[in-house]
Every structure is written in structure tokens, then in C-alpha cells.
A and B are shown apart, each in its own frame.
Chain A
Amino acid sequence: MITILWTRAGFWSRFLVYVLLVAAAVFTIVPFLWAAINSVKTLRETFQIGAFIPFLQFEPTLDSWREVLADPQTSTAFLNSCVISAGTTIFALILGVPAAYSLARYEFPIGSSDITLWFLSQRVLPPAVVLIPFYLLLVYLHLIDTWTGLILCYSTFNLAFVVVIMRDIFRDVSTEIEDAAKVEGATPWQIFWMIALPLSLDGLVVSSVLVFAFTWNEALFASALTSQAATPFSALVLASRSTRGVDFNTAAVNTLIGIVPPVIFYLFVQRYLARGLSFGAVKG
């Protein structure tokens, strides 16, 4: 969408906007490029001044890539991360979205904003406060080092995001259509499921992308609650220090391959965005 601000801008304003945008893009891209360069270096070259340009200043090698990709641990961890992140996203939405709708539409004795903040307050707890009881709970349930255990844990943490964001979205959706449906005799459940939900599709996309990315990234609980079978990629990367000292070239490879699944997920759900990521774009 081109805004009136852009159409009215003079040459120099436009020029300045592009300069700043390019600067931001370069700032964002350089670490990725650096990771790409590091991933084809040897460890010695990584800590050598003036080894920037492959072929010209050093001889690139694919050893680190081979090492990472051939390691069965990598593919297991990747699979674990995908299952855990997808599972968490689905589960957090199933629990959180109805709650958010209820908080957006109905009156409660204690005030729906207070309940929303109560959900959010759970995120304030320091990780270790939640970590110990979770650890013991999962030991008790025999869920240590399982997908289910981590999904259980992450769903709890991410629920707050879903509730806060989706409540905001539902409040921005016009209630006129819902009222019309009610006059036609639709049940509250039908209104929620067949009207409010489809109208809030971009909110669902934003929430799911955030939950997926947050779950994918989480390393602290991942390393504490798994030991091997269900270890996600983030925990595997974190642990690479203790096992072999940090190998900075494989770390660079990990940086690059670690971004792939969440981006694929993002591109996949992005198709359902009507007008880009936008809270409240569907105002009546």
C-alpha cells in the first residue's frame, strides 16, 4: 500500500527514505553474510585478519557443512524442533484463541483486562522458578526428554502471547456482522467459529508465527528438560560448546540452517495474510 506521504514526497525525501531503508537492510544482512563466509572457512582462517573474500583471500571449504549435515544428531534435533514448535503452536492456539475471544466479547466479574494481565504475569516469572517444578513434574510423569513434555511446557509459556494478541485482534473486528448473525439465530459457538475466527485470520497468522519462532529459539528449558532423544536444535547448538569447545565454523553453519524452518513456516502462513502483518486491519 502506497501512502499519501510517499506520493507527495519530493525527490530528496524519497532519496533519504531509501538511504535509511538500505542502511537498515545492510545492518540486517551483514551478519548472515558473515556467517556464510565463516561457514566455508577453516577454524584457523576464522581468526585470521584479512580473510574476507572467498577464493581471493582464502580457499573455501565445505568441511563444516559436511560435518553438520552428516551428523545424525543434527537431523534428529531438526525433526524434534519442528515437531515441538508445530505442536506448541497448535496447542497454544487451541487453548488461547477461545480464551482471547471470550475476554474480548464478554463481561467478567473481575474485569477482562485484569484477567488478560494475569495471563501475562505468568511470563514475568523467572525461568528457574518455573524450571524446577516443571523438571520434577516431567520426571513424575515420565515425560523428561519427550516431545510431549516440551510441548506441554512451551504451550504454557506461549499462551500469554496468544491471549494478549488475539484479544486485541478480536476487539478490533467489527461486531456488526456478529450481531446480524445472532438475529438470524446463530449460536454463540457458530458466531465464534464461523464469523469471528475467519475475520481474524491475520491475527492468527501473527500469533502462530511468533509462537513458532519463540519455541524454535528457546534453549534454556530445552537443554534442561531433554537429554538426547527429544533434544531440539537450539539445545544442540547450545551444547556444542561443552562437547567440543565452540567450533565457530559449525556455529556459522548452524546459524544459517537454523533459520530455515521458521522462515518456511512464515512464508507458508504468510499466504493467508490479507494485507501483510497487521493488527486490526479488518476494522469494520
Chain B
Amino acid sequence: MAALRVERLEHGGFFKYALLLPAVIWVFAFTFLPLISVIRFSFSSYVMGEGITGFVGFDNYVDVLTSGQFWQSIFVTVVYVIFAVPIELVLGFLAAWLVNLGAPGSRTFRTIIGSPLFTLEVAIGYLGVTFFTDQGGLIAVPLAALGIHVPWMSTAFGGIAGAILLDIWRWTSFIFIIVLAGLSGISSELYDAAVLDAKNHWQVMWHLAVPLAWPVTTIAVLLRTVECLKTFAIPFALTSGGPGTSTQTFSAMDYLTTIQFFDFGKGSAMGIVYLILVSVVIATFFQQMRRRLT
């Protein structure tokens, strides 16, 4: 709704900084200063209890970049995001559109469809195991009865597919809630006018609602993508990375390297490499966002 906004920014003087600075200082102190120490770690060998024991140049980076496990986790994460986010966007948008029509009972549907947002991903991951097992699994057994045998829990493909399904269930609600907010902000006069011009409802949705709700939708997709790139709980709880490490997302692997094995040097290098890779993707996205925000 950027077009409808009347922008009258003011100078503000001291007041604007008094409001803004606490947050800026906070984020700077707790994110950007730590980032510096992470860069330092990434060039050192770190032993728990002793701290940095020496500087090793690019050794950690070479380790990471030549590690098959690292690239595999990147691949798993990318596949996960590429399937999960677009499906969540389409389903979430459609659901929001339908609920926003205002049919009697819409409030109930809104509450139900939004509810997965309040579940624990970890618990959903564990629950997922009982969906996909061939021993009485809620999804696996009916599919098997139809002759479709998906090796959910025994292969990397099945494990990732299962995790993506759970992710879609859990996170479509997020897109749904935000898009619904955007749609309900569209004034009813605009609909009145559009209905007169359009041949069918599909046209109203496509030519009125989609463009008007697009800014909010972009925010939802961006937030979702950023979070999805860090996915940890659902796949980790569902497959615990297995078989082997074939379904380990980047976050899961980095977590294990850092916290379980206390290899801060390698864990930091990994994080920095990933940050650089992700930044390229997100920067493109941010370029779009910038146009929307200004």
C-alpha cells in the first residue's frame, strides 16, 4: 500500500535519536561485536578451557571448504528452502484469501489454520516419526495401501521430504497470519470497484488483492526464507540427521561441531562461509525489499 502513503518525514532532532539509539547500540553490542570475535576464532585453534591456543591462518577455512559434509549440509538446506518456502507461500496466501472473503465461520477457520504457529517444532519433529514409519505411520500406511512405498525414514530423500512436509504444516500458518493481516487492510471500497470491472473472482484476486497485499507478502516471505535457511529443529528431531549425516541441515551440523565437539575454530569458519553464501542470496532479496521500504 506504499502508493497510498503520504510521506512527510520530519527532522526530529535529538528526539529521533533518543528513540532509535538504544536499539541500535543493543544490536551492535550483541551481534556485531561478537561477529568480530567469531572472525578471530575462525583463524585460530580453540581448546575448551584454555581458549585460543594459536593462530592457524586459513586452516579452518580449508578444512570447511574441502569437507564433503559441509557441502552436503548446504545442499540439504537449499533443497529444503526451495521446496518449503514457495509451497508455504502459495498455500498460506490462498488460505488467507479464502478466510478473508468473510464467509460465516471465518473466525473459527482463522484460529484453526493459524494454530500450528504456536506448536513446538521439536515436538512436531518427534511426532513426525509416527507419521512416516511403515509400522502404523499415519501417512506411510495409507500411502502403502495405495501401492506407494516411500522410504521415508531409511533414505536421505525420504527424510528430507518428510521434514519439508512437516515444515509446510508448521510454517504455512506464519505466511497465512501475516498475509491475512495485509489482505484485511485493503478497504472494501476497492473491492466494490473491482467487482464491477472484473469478470470473475479469480481476476479480483489476481489483479487487486495480490498486488495490494504484495508488500506485506514480501516481508512474510523474506522473514520465512531467512528463518528457513537456519532450519534446525524439525529435521533434527525427525531424522537426527540420519541416515548417517545425509539429512543434516547446516544449522544442525554447525551446532554439533560447535557445542557437542567444542570445535569453536571450525564452527566459526563454517558460520562465516555460510554467512557469505547466504548474504549473496539475501542481498538480492533485500534489493527488492529496499524498493518496497522506501
Task: Show the binding face of A for B, using Cβ within 8 Å.
Answer: 1-6, 8-9, 13-14, 17-18, 20-21, 24-25, 27-32, 34-35, 38, 46-51, 95-96, 98-99, 101-103, 105-108, 111-137, 152-153, 155-156, 159-161, 163-165, 168, 171-172, 175, 188-189, 192, 206, 213, 216-217, 219-220, 223-224, 233-234, 237-238, 240-241, 246, 248, 251-252, 254-255, 258-259, 262-263, 266, 275-281, 283
- Whether the Cβ atoms of A234 and B255 lie closer than 8 Å is no
CB within 8 Å of A: which B152-183 residues: 169, 173, 177-178, 180-182
Bound Cα distance from A91 to B94, whole angstroms: 34
Q: Mark B176-205, 1 if CB is under 8 A from A, else 0.
A: 011011101101100110010000010010
Identity of the chain B residue whose Cβ is nearest the Cβ of A262 in the assembled complex: B118
Bound Cα distance from A120 to B267, whole angstroms: 23
With A101-B19, A251-B123, A251-B127 given, can you name 15 additional A-B contacts, CB distance below 8 Å? A5-B201, A32-B115, A34-B138, A96-B23, A115-B20, A125-B271, A128-B267, A129-B275, A132-B41, A155-B26, A156-B30, A164-B223, A172-B1, A223-B259, A238-B237
- Whether the Cβ atoms of B184 and A237 lie closer than 8 Å is no
A-B residue pairs, 3 tightest by C-beta:
A133-B34, A113-B293, A129-B271
CB of B251 within 8 Å of the partner chain: yes
Which A residues are CB-close (under 8 A) to B169?
Answer: 27-28, 31
Q: Which of B23, B30, B181, B255 contacts A99 (CB 8 A)?
A: B23
Bound Cα distance from A18 to B11, whole angstroms: 51
Identity of the chain B residue whose Cβ is nearest the Cβ of A156 in the assembled complex: B30
Which A residues are CB-close (under 8 A) to B69?
Answer: none
- Whether the Cβ atoms of A128 and B251 lie closer than 8 Å is yes
- Whether the Cβ atoms of B20 and A105 lie closer than 8 Å is no
Bound Cα distance from A128 to B187, whole angstroms: 44
- Whether the Cβ atoms of A17 and B98 lie closer than 8 Å is yes
- Whether the Cβ atoms of B26 and A248 lie closer than 8 Å is no
Q: Mark B251-294, 1 if CB is under 8 A from A, else 0.
A: 10011011100001001101110110011001000100110011
Q: Chain B interface: which size bin?
A: 35 or more
Which A residues are CB-close (under 8 A) to B182?
Answer: 279-280
With A1-B102, A126-B251 known as contacts, the answer to whether A117 contacts B135 (CB < 8 A) is no
Which A residues are CB-close (under 8 A) to B251?
Answer: 126-128, 220
Stretch at the interface among B55-63, B80-88, B105-113: B105-113
Bound Cα distance from A36 to B83, whole angstroms: 29
Q: How far is the CB of A10 from chain B (nearest CB, A)?
A: 10
Bound Cα distance from A263 to B117, whole angstroms: 9
15 pairs, A vs B, C-beta closer than 8 Å: A2-B103, A4-B188, A34-B127, A34-B138, A38-B130, A102-B15, A108-B16, A127-B251, A128-B258, A129-B271, A130-B34, A133-B34, A159-B27, A171-B5, A277-B180
